[in-house]
């Protein structure tokens, strides 16, 4: 009889040799075209990362978008926007569809291009020529006009902030035909042409009256975006009214500004703002990334009252509601290496986020610990980092402790090696990393046998824990992984709460091979 150790049925899955090098030069496994494109769509903000430029990311998106069927592109654009809360890559995918399958673009346009910012993103991509055309073309132009026609006058005016292109630029390109006198006046107002001032929408007239007012405090500020008002001379009373009118996101992003202008002196108003921040419906509508709440909490100055800070923590509990409670032992391994100290959404001149990949990883780890007090957090760089965390502490507190770890090299196999040395038992191992492991590759002094060391160590862990599963959350737009997709290994990308939903599915054993791509493919067109 043939040697079962060599020819057992599971051998093929365990012995797959690495077929790629990652950006750091270490052994890795290449993602399939669909997996790679999904990763880029869920994490690619088209800003420079530690290992890749924005141009390289865009080229890769365009290359992969030509290799998959248009139906997958359409589903992925919807998924990346609605589940991943992304802005840039969904707009790029729609632009590609305008060339590859205009009919599918018409089907998904309103589901992906769901606010003025997304509309401007789409038009900017189309004008750039990256998809092979520099004009919108007849169908995209018609879709944009229909999009404009479906919005109210007030919605369009509130959405007129932003530039390159501005909403006025979009209007000049598509020449929409106004159906009402107020819409005709609004279009003329926005593009700087002659218009009937008396026919302007009431909100615009209120805004213009407020701008012309020379008696501060006499005219109440209009209910318009924060950006339209900040250049004007405003009183504390004006700022208080702006705060009352502000959206959830504007409130979160400008707490220190509101504090500087005396808004929180009014305790009743401070309570209103706190209730807004913890409102479940508004939190869901805002599509907030959990890490954005962590940053808002960390950056809140002394002028922001405790009631508002507590509301941010309440909002965090809502934002992480999809995090699973796992029946069994959980290990969560956040990568704290040097590359993880890079901005999470990439580096852009003048507009890089202060949030690092490390902050995202720390938040995921702290969230899993909060929902699973018996879980163990094992940070790693070139080796594991000893860190004591209290499950009773808030998510914010534990995330901050993890994020303070100093940087180092990347060794994704280190936590598994640590668990194997202990002969640990467990049911779920969660990695949060950029997958750029290099220290444990063969040329750096460790024998890998043609496989990544992560898979070598996972094989040993599985031998003791045959029912265990591993989820690798990748938060950077790269095309390789340390563990190839299998029935016990799931790779997923992104920073939104959708990763917690996937963790729940895996923990409950309801996943399948290539589960993330299958999730995308189930989006209804």
Q: What is the pLDDT of residues 343-386, one digit of tens each?
A: 877 655 454 456 788 988 999 999 999 999 999 999 999 999 99
pTM of the full predicted structure? 0.87
Band the pLDDT of 447: cuts 50, 70, 90.
very low
| For residues 394-408, average pLDDT | 90
Q: Judge: domain 323-521, CATH 3.40.50.410.
A: yes
Whether residue 249 contacts residue 236, with contact meaning beta carbons closer than 8 Å, is answered with: no
- C-alpha gyration radius of the chain: 25
Tell me which residue of 355, 288, 280 sits closest to 311, measured CA to CA: 280
The CA distance from 343 to 67, in Å, is 29
- Whole-number pLDDT of residue 158: 94
The CA distance from 418 to 420, in Å, is 5
The encoded tokens of residue 451 equal: 């496989």
DSSP 467: T
- Whole-number pLDDT of residue 55: 87
In this predicted structure, the answer to whether residue 50 has a pLDDT above a threshold of 80 is no
| For residues 214-226, average pLDDT | 80
Whether residue 117 contacts residue 91, with contact meaning beta carbons closer than 8 Å, is answered with: no
**Cβ neighbours of 103 (radius 10 Å):** 10
In this predicted structure, the answer to whether residue 310 has a pLDDT above a threshold of 80 is yes
The DSSP-derived string for 58-79 is HHHHHHHHTTS-HHHHHHHHHH
- Whole-number pLDDT of residue 449: 52
The DSSP-derived string for 309-369 is HHHHHHHHHHHTTTPPP-SS-EEEEEB-SGGGGSBTT-B-TTT--S-BHHHHHHHHHHHHH
| For residues 136-156, average pLDDT | 96
Pairing of strands 27-30, 480-481: antiparallel
415 alpha-carbon distance from chain centroid: 26
Task: Tell me the CA distances in angstroms from 298 to 252, 260, 290, 318, one per residue in order.
Answer: 12, 17, 13, 18
In this predicted structure, the answer to whether residue 120 has a pLDDT above a threshold of 80 is yes
| SS3 annotation, 182-235 | HHHHHHHHHHCCCCCHHHCCHHHHHHHHHHHCCCCCCCCCCCCCHHHCCCCCCC
In this predicted structure, the answer to whether residue 44 has a pLDDT above a threshold of 50 is yes
In this predicted structure, the answer to whether residue 428 has a pLDDT above a threshold of 50 is yes
The CA distance from 89 to 81, in Å, is 9
| For residues 496-501, average pLDDT | 83
Tell me which residue of 198, 180, 181, 200 sits closest to 190, measured CA to CA: 200
Q: Which residue has the tokens 């008002």?
A: 229
The DSSP-derived string for 253-272 is HTHHHHHHTTGGGSHHHHHH
Tell me which residue of 181, 147, 182 sits closest to 167, measured CA to CA: 147
22 alpha-carbon distance from chain centroid: 22
Whether residue 158 contacts residue 124, with contact meaning beta carbons closer than 8 Å, is answered with: no
Domain range annotation of the chain: 30-199, 225-319, 323-521
DSSP 152: -
């Amino acid at each position: 009889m043939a040697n079962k150790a060599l020819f057992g049925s599971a051998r093929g899955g365990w012995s797959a040799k690495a077929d790629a090098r990652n950006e750091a030069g270490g052994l890795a496994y290449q993602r399939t075209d669909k997996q790679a494109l999904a990763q880029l769509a869920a994490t690619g903000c088209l800003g420079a990362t530690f290992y890749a430029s924005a141009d390289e990311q865009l080229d890769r998106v365009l290359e992969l978008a030509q290799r998959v069927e248009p139906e997958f592109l359409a589903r992925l654009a919807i998924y990346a926007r609605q589940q991943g809360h992304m802005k840039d890559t969904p707009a790029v995918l729609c632009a590609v569809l305008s060339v590859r399958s205009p009919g599918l673009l018409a089907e998904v346009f309103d589901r992906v291009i769901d606010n003025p910012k997304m509309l401007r993103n789409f038009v900017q991509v189309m004008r750039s020529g990256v998809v092979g055309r520099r004009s919108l073309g007849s169908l995209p132009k018609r879709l944009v006009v229909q999009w404009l026609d479906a919005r109210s006058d007030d919605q369009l005016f509130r959405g007129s902030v932003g530039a390159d292109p501005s909403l006025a630029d979009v209007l000049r390109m598509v020449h929409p035909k106004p159906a009402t006198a107020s819409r005709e006046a609004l279009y003329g107002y926005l593009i700087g042409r002659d218009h009937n001032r008396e026919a302007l929408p009431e909100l615009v007239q209120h805004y213009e009256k407020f701008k012309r007012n020379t008696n501060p405090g006499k005219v109440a500020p209009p209910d318009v975006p924060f950006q339209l008002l900040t250049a004007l001379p405003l009183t504390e009373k004006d700022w208080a009214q702006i705060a009352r009118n502000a959206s959830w996101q504007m409130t979160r992003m400008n707490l220190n500004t509101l504090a500087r202008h005396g808004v929180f002196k009014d305790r009743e108003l401070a309570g209103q703002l706190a209730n807004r921040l913890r409102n479940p419906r508004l939190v869901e509508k805002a599509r907030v990334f959990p890490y954005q709440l962590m940053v808002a909490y960390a950056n809140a100055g002394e002028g922001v009252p405790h009631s508002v800070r507590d509301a941010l923590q309440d909002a965090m509990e809502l934002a992480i509601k999809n995090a699973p409670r796992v029946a069994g032992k959980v290990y969560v391994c956040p990568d704290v290496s040097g590359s993880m100290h890079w901005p999470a959404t990439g580096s852009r001149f003048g507009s890089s986020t202060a949030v690092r990949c490390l902050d995202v990883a720390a938040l995921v780890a702290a969230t899993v610990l909060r929902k699973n007090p018996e879980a163990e957090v094992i940070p790693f760089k070139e080796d594991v980092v000893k860190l004591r965390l209290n499950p009773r502490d808030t998510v914010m507190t534990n995330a901050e402790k993890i994020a303070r770890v100093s940087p180092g090299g990347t060794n994704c196999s280190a936590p598994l090696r640590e668990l194997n040395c202990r002969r640990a038992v467990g049911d779920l191992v969660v990695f949060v990393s950029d997958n750029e492991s290099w220290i444990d590759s063969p040329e750096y002094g460790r024998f890998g046998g043609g496989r990544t060391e992560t898979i070598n160590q996972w094989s040993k862990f599985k031998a003791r824990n045959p029912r265990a599963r591993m989820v690798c959350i990748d938060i950077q737009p790269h095309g390789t992984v340390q563990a190839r997709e299998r029935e016990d290994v799931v790779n997923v990308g992104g920073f939104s709460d959708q990763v917690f939903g996937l963790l729940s599915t895996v923990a409950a054993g309801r996943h399948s091979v290539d589960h993330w791509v299958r999730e995308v493919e189930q989006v209804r067109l």
